Amino acid sequence: MRDCKGRFAPTPSGDMHIGNAFCYFLAWLSARSQSGRIVLRFEDCDRLRMQPEAVGQTMSDLEWLGLCWDEGPTPGQTEGPYFQSCRTAIYDRVFEELRARRLVYPCFCSRQDVRLAAAPHPGEDAPVYPGTCRDLSAAEIDVRMKKRAPAWRLRLEDKTVCFCDALLGPQRCEILSERGDFPVRRADGVYCYQFTAALDDALMGVSEVIRSNDLLASTPWQIYLQQLLGYAPPTYLHIPLLLDENGSRLAKREKSLSLRQIRRHYTPEEVIGRLAFLAGLQSAPEPCDLAALAAQFSAERLPREDIVLPPALFSACREA
């Protein structure tokens, strides 16, 4: 069995909200309960969506909560880089390998390139790609290349990807018909989320991925790519989303319950106690200590259904 290594993989596009904190809290607890390490990596390939101050704010929020990491963009770290925007040379190398193996092909279909690289979220899932550019001849490719730069897609085999989610149980996906060839690189040269996340998890030795269930549909693609490149995929655990009282998912762009706001009104122990309560790890939202939670953590106790945040739980932020 390999040593446990978990990860935090924030996209620094705004302030961390309570749903992000919930995810990192569980990733931390799970890794620490197995004496594992944690890597912090910033998913900032799509520079247009990023907010420069979000990196410092995210690290400060994580440290304030006590969710420390072992590897990440901290002075003195020798591995990495831990910003995806600085890993282009690594992505280029793997992309060229896939190209040499004829496993990627240029795609000229018009799509919103920005959407191609984003982690998909409900309502924004890309439709299954119908394979329009899969079998273009070399001559057709030449003609089209002169008009516009293509995106590049991975050519999938028609096979079944199976994995066992540590919370949701066995999962099975007919990868070609249910997901379709996925974009690896956008027309503007930016590498796409599925490619960079799967590759970095493999290269960074991540053995356990804990993230929100809105990314469950991405997992078969990521496992497929890791296997194609000869890596053993990590285990996956997809946690429920935290929803606001209207049943909508929290989003950075809506500034819903950010840690920046919460820190003005609550202590770290109070926030951890509330997160533990939401996760079903304690029966009341009492302040509590991370180390004590890690000592008795078991993923089986986590809820499977999305969780509506009780409005009273962070009432001090609402009243402010």
Cβ contacts of 99 within 8 Å, gap of 6 or more: 152
Taking the least distance from each CB to ligand GLU, the nearer of 236 and 266 is 236
Q: What is the 3-state secondary structure (H, E, C) of 162-198?
A: EEEECCCEEEEEEHHHHHCCCEEECCCCCECHHHHHH
Taking the least distance from each CB to ligand GLU, the nearer of 16 and 175 is 16
Coil, strand or helix at 125: coil
Name 115's bridge partners: none
For residues 230 and 222, give the distance between their C-alpha atoms in angstroms, rounded to a whole number.
12
**Minimum distance, C-beta of residue 26 to ligand GLU, in the bound complex (Å):** 12
Q: Where are the beta strands (DSSP E) in the chain?
A: 5-8, 37-40, 104-107, 151-154, 160-165, 169-174, 183-185, 208-212, 235-239, 242-243, 307-308
Torsions phi, psi of 123, nearest 5?
A: 85, -15
- Whether residue 34 contacts residue 294, with contact meaning beta carbons closer than 8 Å, is answered with no
Question: Using CB under 6 A, which of the segments 3-11, 93-101, 138-146, 180-188 binds ligand GLU?
Answer: 3-11
Question: Using CB under 6 A, which of the segments 7-15, 97-105, 109-117, 284-292 binds ligand GLU?
Answer: 7-15
Member of 4, 9, 54, 154 binding ligand GLU (CB under 6 A): 9
Taking the least distance from each CB to ligand GLU, the nearer of 40 and 279 is 40
**Minimum distance, C-beta of residue 52 to ligand GLU, in the bound complex (Å):** 16
Taking the least distance from each CB to ligand GLU, the nearer of 106 and 208 is 208
Is residue 211 a contact residue for ligand GLU (CB under 6 A)?
yes
Is residue 217 a contact residue for ligand GLU (CB under 6 A)?
no
Peptide bond into 81 cis (omega under 30): yes
Is residue 197 a contact residue for ligand GLU (CB under 6 A)?
yes
Give CA torsion, residues 212, 214, 219, 220, to 10 deg: 150
Q: Within positions 66 to 125, which residues make up the interface with ligand GLU, using CB under 6 A?
A: 119
Member of 54, 94, 154, 215 binding ligand GLU (CB under 6 A): 215
Torsions phi, psi of 86, nearest 5?
A: -100, 10
- Name the percent of the chain in helix, strand, coil, to the closest 5: 40, 15, 45
Q: Within positions 155 to 174, which residues make up the interface with ligand GLU, using CB under 6 A?
A: none
Question: Using CB under 6 A, which of the segments 5-13, 140-148, 284-292, 297-305 binds ligand GLU?
Answer: 5-13
Taking the least distance from each CB to ligand GLU, the nearer of 149 and 251 is 251
Coil, strand or helix at 233: coil
Taking the least distance from each CB to ligand GLU, the nearer of 197 and 302 is 197
For residues 178 and 191, give the distance between their C-alpha atoms in angstroms, rounded to a whole number.
22
Count of residues engaged in binding ligand GLU, rule: CB under 6 A: 8
**Minimum distance, C-beta of residue 308 to ligand GLU, in the bound complex (Å):** 20
Binding mask 12-51 for ligand GLU (x = CB under 6 A): -------------------------------x--------
Where do contacts with ligand GLU occur on this chain (CB under 6 A)?
Answer: 9-11, 43, 119, 197, 211, 215
